[in-house]
Amino acid sequence: MKSRRTRSQSQVFDLLKQLKSAISAQELYLQLRQQQVSMGLATVYRALESLKLEGAVQVRTLSSGESLYSLAKEDTHHLTCVRCGNSAVMDECPVHGLESHLTESHHFQIFYHTLEFFGLCEKCQLTEEDSLTATG
């Protein structure tokens, strides 16, 4: 049974519904302020945490340590460059079978999953090769 959301949780959830991409708590806070919503940054974090525990919001942590929040509407899969920070979305999911297995074997309700690979994008690989050639 879902508990009733607080006004702050509803405001944060409603803003996330309007957004097309994931957003940091700080950016969310700034957007709420631009919409004349009076809410402190700590309240934004608390609302996001409650929505996450409810399964309504998913969190993706970047290699920089920054967390991005979005509605828990779909699984996400990314290739993220540790040098430039660019992140490419992977369309295919190699773990859907595992998710089904875990749901059945552990009687575990899965809200969503994330899969992220970290490395160097093609552009950063070329930059690295160029710098090695220049110094060699």
Identify whether residues 113 and 69 lie together within a single domain.
Answer: no
Residue at a domain's end among 54, 73, 92 = 73
pLDDT at 51 over 60: yes
pLDDT digits 0-9 by tens, 60-113: 888 788 999 998 876 778 898 989 988 888 888 888 888 889 989 999 888 878
Q: CATH number for the domain including 25? A: 1.10.10.10
Summarize the confidence of residues 50-59 as an average pLDDT: 91
Q: What is the mean pLDDT of the chain?
A: 87
Q: What is the domain count for the chain?
A: 2
Identify whether residues 66 and 56 lie together within a single domain.
Answer: yes
According to the per-residue pLDDT averaged within each range, which of 6-15, 63-72, 75-84, 126-135 is highest?
6-15
Summarize the confidence of residues 49-54 as an average pLDDT: 93
DSSP per position, 38-102:
---HHHHHHHHHHHHHHTSEEEEE-TTS-EEEEETTS-EEEEEETTT--EEE----TTHHHHHHH
pLDDT at 128 over 60: yes
pLDDT at 45: 97
Q: CATH number for the domain including 94? A: 3.30.1490.190
C-alpha dihedral (106, 107, 110, 114), degrees to nearest 10: 10
Give the count of beta carbons closer than 10 Å to the beta carbon of residue 20. 6
Identify whether residues 69 and 86 lie together within a single domain.
Answer: no
Identify whether residues 103 and 136 lie together within a single domain.
Answer: yes
pLDDT at 61: 85
- What share of the chain has pLDDT > 90, as a percent? 46
Phi, psi of 76 (to 5 degrees): -125, 145
pLDDT at 26 over 60: yes
What's the domain range around 118? Answer: 75-136
pLDDT at 1: 42
- Provide the token pair at 40: 């402190």
Identify whether residues 2 and 21 lie together within a single domain.
Answer: yes
